[in-house]
Amino acid sequence: MRDKTFLMIPGPTPVPESVMLDIARHPIGHRSSEFSKILENVYANLKYVFRTKNDVFVYTSSGTGAMCAALENLINEGDSVLSLVLGNFGNRWAKIAASRGAVVEKIEVPTGEVIDPEVLRTRLAQDTEKKIKIVTLTHSETSTGAANDIKTLCSIIREHGALSVVDGVTSVCAMECNPDEWGIDVLVSGSQKGFMIPPGLAFLVASERAWKVYEECKHPSFYWDWAAYRKSVQANSTPFTPAVNLFVGLNTALEMIKKEGIENMNARHKRHSLALRNAIKAIGLELVVKDDKNASNSITSILPPDGITVPDIRKVIKEDFDIVVANGQNELKDKIFRMGTLGFVCDRDLISAVGALEATLYKLGYKFDLGKGVATVIKELANK
């Protein structure tokens, strides 16, 4: 039987039926009063989800678009940018900064690890002339499943005086993230992750301090221009033709998020990722992120057992159970597989996924205590 695909990848993530049905309706005019009403609701609810008093911009793009929208409105040629890199997406910030002519320095950590706040503090303390203008960070590094302590790191950056520019693509909705309270200067995210809608929209929120730096940007981007987006948000409009149907779906999804409550949504993600981590350990597999406190709530990276390949695991779980798990990226391709617990995921999904993984490993000849993963996940989920 088919047509029951469960995307257990870190995006695109499963979409609720009510959201799908709303997206499927006829497009409406983007300058109509009907659409403006939807935007009014969307913009208000985004402030709730992003826990900010500042306007949240919505770009018709993938998450990388919002990353470009962040740096391309802040950097002048020759500016110094420090990029904190846990993996692929931390590196993406460095590449975007370099593409704008910035002088980029990186602090990198081995796979599965996170930035030590003391390392950052020491590096910034050496910058007595305050040359470093921007520090880029990733909250949840999707390529490894590690999550930085953004609150502490951003407070260190604030003490130094640089701007913190944070990738919250797989953390917003899934993990506590308080830009106003924690002094995050720019935070970006994407629709196909925790927001429970398909790919195509990206989000950005900027602090007052970031706006001051924007005002000194000699060549701000045209398509991503913050001023154009702020003006539009305040008029319940958009600067250009937006992905109208996705906004309609976003409106429905944001109402669902509000109903669940953002704190409850964060807690659900944490509960699911911890249950999954413990189930994986019970099955006898190794996790890439060793310490629970450094683990993302949205993605869990796992090493395959000896003698069984990642492509085989991904093939059997797809063919037999219609569950899609992600491969590793770049140098981690075929070395790890990644299971998402992001967005529209419930307890039933998790129990099924762990059961399907056990069945897959069993079929592939892995010797283990069959059923231990499912038993663990059931017990973990019972501790609400």
Ligand X SMILES: Cc1ncc(COP(=O)(O)O)c(C=O)c1O
Rule CB under 6 A: choose which of 8, 120, 124, 169 binds ligand X: 169
What is the smallest separation between the CB atom of 260 and ligand X, expressed in angstroms?
22
**Closest CB to ligand X among residues 177, 282:** 177
- How distant, in Å, are the alpha carbons of 18, 47, 65, 189, 339 from that of 58? 21, 12, 10, 10, 27
- Return the range that interacts with ligand X (CB under 6 A); candidates 29-37, 135-143, 223-231, 262-270: 135-143
Alpha helices in 284-346 (DSSP H): 310-321
C-alpha distances in angstroms, 222 versus 55, 71, 203? 19, 13, 17
Alpha-carbon gap, residue 128 to 204, rounded angstroms: 30
Compare residues 143 and 376 and give the one whose CB is closer to ligand X.
143
Number of residues that bind ligand X (CB under 6 A): 13
* Shortest distance in whole angstroms from residue 43 CB to ligand X: 21
Binding range to ligand X, per CB under 6 A, among 138-146, 226-234, 302-310, 364-372: 138-146
The phi, psi pair for 306, rounded to 5°, reads -55, 135
Binding mask 83-122 toward ligand X (x if CB under 6 A, else -) reads: ------x---------------------------------
Nearer residue to ligand X within complex by CB, 70 or 317: 70
Figure out which of the listed residues 36, 41, 64, 237 binds ligand X, where binding follows CB under 6 A. Answer: 64
- Number of Cβ within a 10 Å radius of residue 335: 15
Instruction: CB nearer to ligand X: give 188 or 283.
Output: 188
**Is-contact 238 61, C-beta < 8 A?**
no
Rounded Cα–Cα distance for residues 234 and 211 (Å)? 16
Distance CA 98, CA 90 (A): 13
Shorter beta-carbon distance to ligand X: residue 137 or 283: 137
Distance CA 363, CA 70 (A): 47
Q: Does 35 bind ligand X (CB under 6 A)?
A: no
Which one of 12, 183, 190, 198 is in contact with ligand X (CB under 6 A)? Answer: 190
d(CA 146, CA 301): 9
Residue 60 touches ligand X, criterion: CB under 6 A: no
In the numeric block, which tokens belong to residue 225?
Answer: 């221009």
State the nearest-atom distance from the C-beta of 209 to ligand X, in Å: 23
Nearer to ligand X, 170 or 341 (CB): 170
Minimum CB separation of residue 365 from ligand X in Å reads: 32
Compute the distance between CA of residue 158 and CA of residue 163 in angstroms, rounded to an integer. 7
- Measured from the CB atom, the residue of 170 and 245 that comes closer to ligand X is 170
Q: CA 265 to CA 176: how far, in whole Å?
A: 9
Tell me the residue nearest to ligand X as measured from the CB. 63
Residue from 6, 8, 11, 57 binding ligand X (CB under 6 A): 11
Report the C-alpha gap between 164 and 117 in whole angstroms: 14
